[in-house]
Chains A and B, each alone.
Chain A
């Protein structure tokens, strides 16, 4: 049965690798060898546990202890205390910031309590580089059912019945998409997996591919069986080397066991998958642009119709879904559509994975039932805003989404509610902003991204967004005029209506939503020449107040030497410092240098 008494799981996602999990693995092996108990434990690198803020994470079974922020130098103590004596190493346990209690199990943490994993079901449980683990948890059983029990029509009926909607952005019903794929007759059809996760701040698809690649492959095979395709492509960002590698390992293992290839499980059904590297173009998340890119062309969107289900890759019927959508499919088949529907909201069943980041205590990857409120996500799972700052906005949907303010925090999140409040689901990035973030500047940040990523094919998107960007640039420099605010709205609406593809249709959302929810900030910039958050450099001056004690710490760090002793003379004869506003580049380096109890340097 168990090969070893203990199993030690180390989070091997990109986040934890960046924080040093590979060194932890080496140190753990070395310490166990030193104490002669290497044979007592199996060490596995698994997919993302989600709590990236606390990485690297080490989980020890069977007592299921969850250690956080483990560094290589901690491993000796982990071995001598936990493995040798069975004692918890308290200093490596997560301490609840609210109660101060130590959490031994992950379910003790507020971060995990309300989460429910469907797309991430086996992520952090199975070894992603070992298909045997996936077999062990019942992997490829759903495909076997689809090959032996279900007709293509029946598979599509199940997916339609489950109410599964595309997790890549627009939320189109997946079953319907597959039905179109089946009905368009052809002797060659394709299945595509869109893994070109380009939203800044979104990493859910990458985590699924790194943590549970076989679930995606299995689902692609099921989709292929449903529409009658025999070839699949995963279009993945070249910037995700670990995910690419794990996917390739998984494909090779699946071929060896005959889960991909010819005559799968003796059923006569053939299907194989290969990986295609993207090359860094956000617009390729749009399915027709993605297909152009697959064909070796510039990734510009095509006119629709014809839709890909009619004429897609190489002109053949093609079904394209995103990674997270596929990841839900095997469980829907094995557990049934009713089980899936029992989670979430009537119109958006199931769960959604979000990448929670920005000004939030618990940055990480979370999966919650649709309908969970933003307030729960931010203040319970996310643990609130760091450093006692005040919440200002949450941005969902990346560059296509909008900024949601305090007043809408009690909305339960699903595809339709987010659209109704001027944002969108997008792929599921959630960025939290606090009082120090200027919403005009944030809108400009997103628009800069869109302007750079616009493919240039249609005019509203190419020129309209550039004009909007110029206006925002003016406003953040204090040169905005009241009529600019009207023009921003008009331009934004026109671009939404007239653009060719989803990128242009949604590009103005960050601007329009901030105009709706944070008009007062725009007005402060335009009417009063002030940036309330103090983020727009041209509208802020750094000033040294009378609190200055002439210690000179700020002078040392000023990169342009613009702080001079030319102020009021003090009793000891020294003169207080003054910042020369002409020379100041507003880098802000001086502020943290001023001792907090003095606090003489302020922004105004």
Chain B
């Protein structure tokens, strides 16, 4: 594990070192770091701050400003419910509520067992399929509430099968 983490930091360092200029590079570096680590915990933030020679407070300030960055590890199954207006008027709020109920968790959190992350997402722009969600990167469109249990079950099966 220890060694594994070292390799991840090495990958990040290599990316930063290869940049033509560090001026204005912070957001690109955070994108890369989140790609590598999956999220941006305090240790990664301070590492980035040292590498770019900026205060850690600035790194924290920037990453908390942007919704794309997260400081918590996401669950194994990632459910994103599009809450764009088109989906909202076609009942996305009811889909989200159903997930909250069936998974017994709140939106925009990760379950304690790290099995699920449930997020309300800004528009993903597939309004023709509203309401639409993505589950582990795959989209499911024109959903009705009753589709939710089946989607949850298929996630659990896949994980067991794997």
Contacts and interface: CB of A to CB of B under 8 A. Distances in A.
Interface of A: 14-15, 18-19, 52-55, 197-203, 206, 238-240, 276-282, 293-299, 314, 355, 357-359, 363-364, 395, 398, 429, 431-433, 437, 442, 445-446, 455, 559, 587-589
Nearest to A313: B24
Given A201-B86, A280-B67, A363-B86, A294 B24 contact: yes
Contacts of B65: 281, 298-299, 455
B44 interface: no
A293 B65 CA distance: 10
A559 B98 CA distance: 9
Of A201, A240, A355, A364, chain B has the most CB atoms within 10 Å of the CB of A201
Contacts of B139: 18
Contacts of A280: 66-69, 122
A458 to B, nearest CB: 15
B145 interface: yes
Of B66, B122, B127, B141, chain A has the most CB atoms within 10 Å of the CB of B127
A363 B94 contact: no
Contact of B125 (A203, A276, A282, A446): A203
Contacts of A55: 128-129
A437 B28 CA distance: 41
Contact of B126 (A52, A314, A432): A52
A297 B63 CA distance: 9
A282 B130 CA distance: 21
Contact of B128 (A52, A200, A240, A297): A52
19 contacts: A14-B126, A18-B126, A18-B141, A52-B126, A200-B85, A201-B127, A203-B123, A203-B125, A206-B125, A279-B67, A280-B66, A280-B67, A281-B67, A293-B27, A296-B28, A357-B130, A445-B85, A445-B88, A587-B98
Interface string B42-70: 00000000000000000001100111110
A238 B28 contact: no
A359 B129 contact: no
Interface of B: 23-28, 30-31, 61-62, 65-69, 83-86, 88-90, 94, 97-98, 101, 122-130, 132, 139, 141, 145
Given A200-B85, A201-B84, A277 B28 contact: yes
Contacts of A358: 85-86, 89-90, 127, 130
A53 B68 contact: no
B149 to A, nearest CB: 11
Contacts of A199: 123
Of A199, A355, A357, A437, chain B has the most CB atoms within 10 Å of the CB of A357
B72 to A, nearest CB: 16
Contact of A198 (B23, B26, B122): B122
Contact of B127 (A295, A363, A437, A589): A363
B44 to A, nearest CB: 15
A298 B85 contact: no
Contacts of B141: 18-19
Nearest to A429: B85
B89 A431 contact: yes
Nearest to A281: B66
Given A277-B28, A587-B98, 12 more contacts: A14-B125, A18-B132, A55-B129, A203-B125, A206-B125, A276-B28, A278-B68, A280-B67, A280-B68, A437-B89, A445-B88, A587-B97
Nearest to A437: B89
Given A279-B31, A358-B90, A15 B85 contact: no
Given A15-B129, A296-B25, A298-B65, A359 B90 contact: yes
A180 B149 CA distance: 58
Nearest to B63: A279
A364 B61 contact: no
Contacts of A238: 31, 68
Contacts of B83: 200
Contact of A296 (B27, B84, B90): B27
A528 B16 CA distance: 62
A536 to B, nearest CB: 12
A6 to B, nearest CB: 27
B122 A239 contact: yes
Nearest to A293: B27
A355 B86 CA distance: 10
Contacts of B127: 15, 52, 201, 203, 355, 357-358, 363
Contact of A200 (B23, B122, B126): B122
A298 B68 CA distance: 13
B49 to A, nearest CB: 12
A559 B101 contact: yes
